[in-house]
Structure 1
């Protein structure tokens, strides 16, 4: 794995325009703060002097195959410890998945609090237990992203990113 640079806020963040990875609209609160957007996204410095990233929320959807509803619930009631540990080590917090039984849609959301999202996602893909978990759970799902092959392949994304249109802290 090539060395990655630590995450730093891009100049676009000051204008409220930065949008890495999944689509995201800045909330009305963030847009109204214009020049103070950076301070609303970043907080106090760490001991090593880096600015602490307070997190970026992600949301995604996918369709759960009807015949796997019970199995999906069963495996998520006992997530493999190696998978849970890797999620935490990759700076993903407040991760949850919701299911709408009427449409079969799974809605996942989480907060990324690290400094290098792409690097952390690469670490996630390098973990053999995570890849094994993905292979199992991908079989329970139907991607809504044209051309998506599986979770491991990365692009296009297996789970469809959805745009945030409102946030209230």
Structure 2
């Protein structure tokens, strides 16, 4: 199958080479970048199904996300995090931008936070994973949220 779209290649001074999968280790930095530059970010998108009986509760808990969870997300170099809901299908669509240098390491830090794991247990109970064999968010692989492919982006 041919690739329908691929992003424009940035100038060499801004080049970051994405890993082969969302779970691959971080981003390889171009030798032309100084260590003081921040990664421009890699966008992620993923889906999971929200159980219909928990729609209101899911929205309620996300209207007041625990401060410890929000702080850990920020410390793990995640920015522009959004979750959308399609009431017709029950699908939750999440997107975020990762701006760090070690995605795997940052995700491990996320999993090490007891409040984040507690949050995941709460919110996972409202959801059904679309990934065969997924047990929960805490387990890691296979992922609870199903990664989806980006086919178009207009900055």
TM-score by length of 2: 0.82
Q: Does 1:90 align with 2:65?
A: no
Query: How far is the alpha carbon of 1:38 from its aligned partner?
Result: 6.6
- Tell me the distance in 2 between the aligned counterparts of 1:90 and 1:70: 28
State the 1:28 CA deviation: 3.6
- RMSD, aligned CA: 2.4
Per-residue deviation, residues 119-139 of structure 1 (Å, max 9, x unmatched): 000000000000000000000
For residues 129 and 106 of structure 1, what CA distance do their matches in structure 2 show?
Answer: 22
Aligned to 2:125: 139
Count of paired positions: 140
Aligned match of 1:111: 97
How far 1:52 moved relative to its partner?
2.4
2-side partners of 1:150 and 1:62: how far apart? 11
Counterpart in the other structure of 2:46: 60
Show structure 2 runs of 5+ residues with no match: 17-28
> 1:9-158 residue pairs with structure 2 within 5 A?
27-30=5-8, 33=9, 36=11, 39=14, 41=16, 49-158=35-144
Q: What TM-score results when the alignment is normalised by the length of structure 1?
A: 0.76
Give the C-alpha shift of residue 37 in structure 1.
6.5
Gaps of 5+ in 1: 1-24
